[in-house]
């Protein structure tokens, strides 16, 4: 990987050490250009007219996103963000009171809140499979629960927001497929970081966002919907005039493809930016990205672990590019803000983002440091020096 060329293509690397890719990655030039060009066109010819002129490029954006996860474009629905994508999928599952959602202790905070809301309103039961001793969900226990409880839906967050752990999502997918349990995967932190393939997963839905490791813009995400889910007739609870046709006074017909999960109004500039980001990642190659990102994550973790007063919190059989740290005697938010004044971008997670995980670890927050392939070992050293200075 030609890191220097990639940095030259990434304006933000000239000014800052950006280690907050789990928050939002730095957009490369082609992404920025795709967005600006479309906004410019909209200002010159009109918003609807610009979308009509760019139909071919918009189609190419769907193809790029589909290629990114090994899907067909007709299985991709554009969304405003990962949460909207996840909730659209969740709303399509025909839950009845007493149904079980089987999940893990590390699923994303907003997903957990949505499950609890369903529990309150509809009498759904939320069951969380236990973790394995080394961290990450216990696949065997998950399989047994799937067998015993016959959940209406299983869901798993591939890479949580609050730790570098990579869940054994392929094994979980197999456990679900063996028992005919539909699976919704939150791949928000893994798409663009890891080589994610929906054919390998065989999941029913997969949700993701544009702005993180994929390096797309803020305000856009996508949902993969399998043929199986479409054939079952699953559709979002509130389809709009893009997702469905109103064909008689008391009858509507959902679109045959994943577009039934879309809303009519789109920020097409962002869709084109997302497409450019997906193409950029594909051109680099997801296996190469994964290798480089994991290498930097490992180097960062090792260097941090050697610092006195610093505890690396990440657990699990496999860990990725999100590194979470407990800094004895320091508030992670204050550290993040201080580092920002020194030109180093990081993130932080509060207990509210990970009640189960952080309570297990006995911490009430963590500094979150997340390099990408365009970061250098020198930048990592400079971050480590800044922490040592504290």
Ligand X SMILES: Cc1ncc(COP(=O)(O)O)c(C=O)c1O
Residue (184 or 244) nearer to ligand X, CB:
184
Q: List the Cα angle 144/122/251 in 5-degree steps.
A: 110
To ligand X, the closest distance from the beta carbon of 196 in angstroms equals 13
The residue with tokens 């797309």 is 216
C-alpha closest to that of 189 among 252, 299, 106, 250: 106
CB atoms within 10 A of CB 233: 10
Contact 193, 169 (CB under 8 A): no
Q: Which of 13, 75, 104, 161 binds ligand X (CB under 6 A)?
A: 161
In the complex, the smallest distance separating the C-beta of residue 190 from ligand X, rounded to whole angstroms, is 8
Nearer to ligand X among residue 50 and residue 129 (C-beta): 129
Q: From the CB of 209, what's the least distance to ligand X, in Å?
A: 3
Interface residue with ligand X among 42, 131, 186, 204 (CB under 6 A) is: 186
H helix intervals, 184-314: 198-201, 227-231, 268-284, 286-305
Tell me if 189 contacts ligand X by CB under 6 A. yes
Q: How far apart are CA 209 and CA 84, in angstroms?
A: 10
At closest approach, how far in Å is the CB of 160 from ligand X?
6
Side-chain-side CA neighbours of residue 326 (13 Å): 12
Within 10 angstroms of residue 78's Cβ, the number of other Cβ atoms is: 27
Q: State yes or no: residue 370 binds ligand X (CB under 6 A).
A: no
The 10 Å Cβ neighbour count of residue 135 is: 22
Binders in 103-132 for ligand X, by CB under 6 A: 108, 110
Dist CA 270 CA 249 (whole Å): 35
- For the beta sheet containing 365-369, the strands, ordered from the edge strand earlier in sequence to the opposite edge, are 310-312, 323-327, 365-369, 347-350
Instruction: List C-alpha distances in Å: 20 to 17, 138, 198, 220, 377.
Output: 9, 29, 26, 18, 15
Of residues 13 and 161, the one with the C-beta less far from ligand X? 161
Residue corresponding to tokens 């919907």: 225
- Write down the least CB distance from residue 206 to ligand X, Å: 11
Asked if residue 209 binds ligand X (CB under 6 A), the reply is yes
Query: 154 has which bridge partners?
Result: 102, 183
**Cβ pair 109, 98 in contact under 8 A:** no
Q: Pick from 10, 13, 20, 83 the residue near ligand X by CB under 6 A.
A: 83
**C-beta of 321: minimal distance to ligand X in Å?**
13
Binding piece for ligand X, criterion CB under 6 A, among 128-136, 143-151, 154-162, 311-319: 154-162
CA–CA dist 79, 261 (Å, integer): 8
Q: Does residue 82 interact with ligand X by CB under 6 A?
A: yes
**Consecutive H or E run containing 100:** strand 100-104
Name the segment binding ligand X (CB under 6 A); options: 10-18, 116-124, 182-190, 271-279. Answer: 182-190
- Residue 321 binds ligand X (CB under 6 A): no
Check residue 347 for interaction with ligand X (CB under 6 A): no
Nearer CB in complex with ligand X: 50/191: 191
The nearest distance, CB 126 to ligand X, in angstroms, is 17
> Minimum distance from CB of 220 to ligand X (Å)?
9
Taking the least distance from each CB to ligand X, the nearer of 186 and 262 is 186
Interface with ligand X, residue 167, by CB under 6 A: no
Residues that bind ligand X (CB under 6 A): 81-83, 108, 110, 157, 160-161, 186, 188-189, 209, 221
């Amino acid at each position: 990987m030609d890191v220097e060329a990639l940095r030259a293509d990434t304006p933000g690397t000239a000014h800052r050490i950006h280690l907050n890719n789990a928050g939002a990655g730095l957009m490369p030039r082609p992404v920025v250009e795709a967005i600006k060009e479309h906004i410019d066109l909209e200002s010159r010819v009109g918003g609807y007219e610009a979308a009509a002129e760019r139909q071919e490029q918009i189609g190419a954006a769907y193809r790029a996103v589909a290629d990114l996860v090994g899907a067909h474009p007709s299985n991709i629905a554009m969304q405003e963000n990962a949460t909207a994508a996840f909730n659209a999928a969740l709303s399509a599952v025909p839950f009845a009171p007493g149904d079980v959602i089987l999940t893990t202790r590390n699923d994303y905070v907003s997903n957990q809140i949505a499950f609890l809301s369903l529990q309150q309103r509809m009498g759904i039961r939320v069951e969380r499979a236990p973790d394995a001793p080394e961290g990450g969900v216990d696949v065997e226990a998950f399989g047994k629960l799937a067998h015993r409880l016959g959940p209406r839906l299983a869901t798993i967050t591939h890479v949580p927001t609050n730790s570098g752990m990579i869940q054994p999502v392929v094994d979980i997918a197999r456990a679900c497929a063996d028992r005919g349990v539909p699976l919704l995967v939150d791949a928000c932190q893994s798409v663009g970081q890891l080589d994610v393939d929906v054919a390998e997963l065989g999941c029913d839905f997969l949700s993701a966002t544009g702005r993180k490791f994929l390096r797309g813009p803020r305000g856009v995400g996508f949902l993969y919907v399998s043929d199986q889910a479409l054939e079952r007739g699953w559709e979002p609870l509130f389809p709009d005039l893009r997702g469905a046709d109103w064909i008689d006074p008391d009858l509507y017909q959902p679109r045959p493809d994943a577009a039934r999960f879309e809303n009519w109004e789109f920020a097409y500039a962002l869709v084109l930016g997302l497409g450019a980001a997906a193409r950029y990642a594909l051109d680099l190659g997801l296996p190469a990205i994964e290798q480089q990102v994991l290498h930097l994550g490992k180097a960062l973790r090792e260097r941090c672990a050697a610092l006195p007063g610093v505890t690396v919190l990440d657990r699990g059989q496999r860990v990725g590019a999100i590194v979470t740290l407990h800094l004895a005697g320091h508030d992670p938010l204050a550290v993040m803000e201080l580092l920002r004044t020194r030109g180093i971008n990081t993130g932080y997670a509060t207990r509210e983002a990970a009640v189960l995980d952080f309570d297990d670890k006995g911490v009430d927050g963590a500094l979150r440091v997340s390099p990408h392939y365009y970061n250098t070992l020198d930048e990592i050293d400079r971050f480590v020096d800044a922490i040592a200075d504290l």
